[in-house]
Amino acid sequence: MNSALLAKLTGGLGDSATVAKLCSTFAQVYTEFLPDVIKSETGLDVTVGYVGCESGLISDLIAELGENVALADVSLRNWSPNVVLSCGSGFVITLMEHLLGALPDVIEEPSLRPLSVIELDLAVMVFDKISGIMRSAVNAAGGFEPIIGRPHNIDDRPKRPDDHVDEYGATVRMSIKLGPVTSEFALVIPQKTLLKTKIVAPKAKGQSAAATDWAEQLSEQVRRSQVTLEARIKLQSLTLGTISKLAAGDVIPFFESGDVRVDVSANSKELYVCEFGRSGENYTVRVKDNVNPDHDLLKHIMN
């Protein structure tokens, strides 16, 4: 039997009009409530709009989300175990600039690229807000919290096992504008779940005095992030003729004859001036000075 026909007969694929109506209702909830959530917790104004919906096999829908997007797998007990959220990297990069104190008039459209490890940590908070509204809108029984998988760039998404059976889903595509930057986020929802869902607008809540401080959360996320350090040591200059004849076993001396200077960097940002040394069987560097004059290393690494 044709897979689409089987899905229709078993409630896993709806007609286009029904799916479109459910998706637009979902989008209406986000348009109304997500700007208020972000405003209350960051002080930033965002504009959210409905782009449209798409229907198809979930693997195809995910592939069509485009390049330079971050994904997170989300499950909500008593509703769906496999919703996929996406967010364009432009929004996360711009949000990080704002939270780190960049002046609005100097923030420009970022060059789109996969998110760094630190930016993926910020995406955790973004997906938390998106999934929180989803939870309120579907009114799943039991009041359970969504479980959010680790955000990852779309190119790093694990491949499905060979025996995976794909199912039909629907993508709710939303635009989100922060300052001069417009990006998109989306929800990919199995149709067998969506077709059974009664979407309700969550009750509006006033801004709490204990609203989460995203800037503090960001700093905490960054402190837990793993950052790869690189050490650069200056060697003595050699002629091109000498370099072209180097072979295994040849030795190139350090530039300094005393304490050997080592420049340590992370994310291509210079951090420390160190000296080269050794501890037992390990080669080491000892920190001598901080390159960054304002000593604000978190901002220095992330900017």
Q: 123 and 142, same structural domain?
A: yes
Q: Count other C-beta atoms under 10 Å from residue 177's C-beta.
A: 16
Q: Which of 50, 54, 53 is CA-nearest to residue 30?
A: 50
Q: 152 and 89, same structural domain?
A: yes
89: Cβ contacts below 8 Å, ≥ 6 apart? 68, 69, 70, 110, 112, 113, 114, 115, 119, 153, 183
CATH number at residue 100: 3.40.1550.10
Give the percent of the chain with pLDDT over 70.
86
Q: Count other C-beta atoms under 10 Å from residue 46's C-beta.
A: 19
Q: Which of 208, 224, 240 is the last residue of a domain?
A: 224
Q: 297 and 243, same structural domain?
A: yes
What pLDDT score was predicted for residue 147?
Answer: 96
Give the global pTM.
0.73
Q: 54 and 104, same structural domain?
A: yes
pLDDT band at 211; cut points 50, 70, 90: very low
Interval 145-190: pLDDT, tens: 999 999 999 999 988 888 788 899 999 999 999 988 999 999 999 9
| Runs of H (alpha helix) within 84-116 | 89-99
CATH number at residue 268: 2.30.330.10
Q: 215 and 237, same structural domain?
A: no
Interval 68-112: pLDDT, tens: 999 999 999 999 999 999 999 999 999 988 887 777 777 888 888
Q: 246 and 104, same structural domain?
A: no
Range of the domain at 256: 229-302
Q: Which of 184, 208, 224 is the last residue of a domain?
A: 224
